[in-house]
Amino acid sequence: MVKKYKKGNDVSYALGATVVMELLNNRPDKARAVYISEKSDVKAVVDRAHACGVPVVVGDKPFNILSPKENCFAIGEFDKYDCALSRERNHIVLVNPSNSGNLGTIMRAALAFDCTDIAVIRPAVDAFDPKTVRASMGAAFSVNTRFYDSFDDYAKEFYDREIVPFMLCGSPFAEKEFSRDKKYSLVFGNEATGLPSEFSEYGAVRIEQSDKVDSLNLSVAVSIALYKIRNL
C-alpha cells in the first residue's frame, strides 16, 4: 500500500493521469504500480499500464493518503533513479533551489527548449517529490537531473565548458554572445538569496528588469535564458 511521501523513500508517486502517462511512456521500467480511483476509470492509463506490464490497483485509499484535496484520479508509483548528465549538451545548474513548483516548472521548460540536463546543488528541493513531478507535468521523466553536494564537485566533472552565472550584478544578458559551437552551464541561485558573490568571477549576466521588483521568479529567469540559447 502507498505511504505518505518522504524524501528518504525509495519510491515516489506521479499524481494525475497526464503525469502517470508520462511515467509509463518515458520510464516504464521504473513504474511499480498504477492506482486508479473508483470515481474514474481513466481508460488510456489502464491500457498503457497493461501494455507496460505494470500492475493496476483500483480503489480510493491511495488518493486519500497522497492527494486528499486534489482533482486526481490516477497515481503511478515508481522507483526513484539516478541520471547522468551529457558532456555534449548545455546544462542548467540550480544552486540550492528550494521550491518544488519552481523545479517542476523548470523541468517542463527544459524539455520545451531542448536543454534537458539539470544539475542541482544541495541543499535543495527533492526532484522526485510528487509536487515537483506534478508541477513538471511529467517532464520529470524526460529530463536528466543529477544532484551534487557542492558546485565544485559539479565543476570538476564538467571543466570543459563556459560557466554563465545569472546574478543581479551581472552585465546585460541581451548583449551576451553565445555560440552554437560551445557548451554552456547556465547557473542560477536560490529563490530568495541568489548566487553567492564569488560566482561573479566567472563573468555573470543579468536578465534586464526594472528595479521595481527584487528579482525574477526562478523558473521565469531560467526559461528566458533557455529560449535565447535554443534560438541561436
Residues that bind a second copy (CB under 8 A): 101, 105, 108-109, 111-114, 137, 139, 142, 174, 207-210, 212-214, 216-217, 219-220, 223-224, 227, 230-231
- Kindly state the cell numbers that stand for 224: 528566458
* Nearer residue to a second copy within complex by CB, 13 or 141: 141
Count CB-CB contacts under 10 A for residue 44: 13
Q: Is the CB of 32 or the CB of 131 nearer to a second copy?
A: 131
CA dist 78 → 72, 117, 143 (Å): 17, 21, 16
Find out whether 164 and 171 touch, Cβ atoms under 8 Å. Answer: no
DSSP annotation of 139:
G
3-state secondary structure of 232: coil
CB of 212 to a second copy, least distance (A): 5
Question: Shortest Cβ distance from residue 224 to a second copy (Å)?
Answer: 5
The distance of closest approach from Cβ of residue 67 to a second copy in the complex, given in angstroms and rounded to an integer, is 16
Euclidean distance between CA atoms 154 and 133, whole angstroms: 23
Least separation in angstroms between residue 5's CB and a second copy is 17
Cα separation of 19 and 111, whole Å?
A: 14
Sign of dihedral through CA atoms 4, 48, 106, 116?
Answer: positive
Query: In the complex, what is the shortest distance from the CB of residue 102 to a second copy, in angstroms, rounded to a whole number?
Result: 10
With cell 520545451, the residue in question is 112
Nearer to a second copy, 32 or 176 (CB): 176
Smallest distance, Å, CB 174 to a second copy?
Answer: 5
Residue with smaller CB distance to a second copy, 55 or 172: 172
DSSP 8-state symbol, 173: G
Query: Which is nearer to a second copy, 77 or 96 (by Cβ)?
Result: 96
Closer to a second copy by Cβ: residue 101 or 203: 101
Distances (CA, A) of 138 to 11, 128, 180: 16, 11, 29
Cβ proximity of 117 and 89 under 8 Å: yes
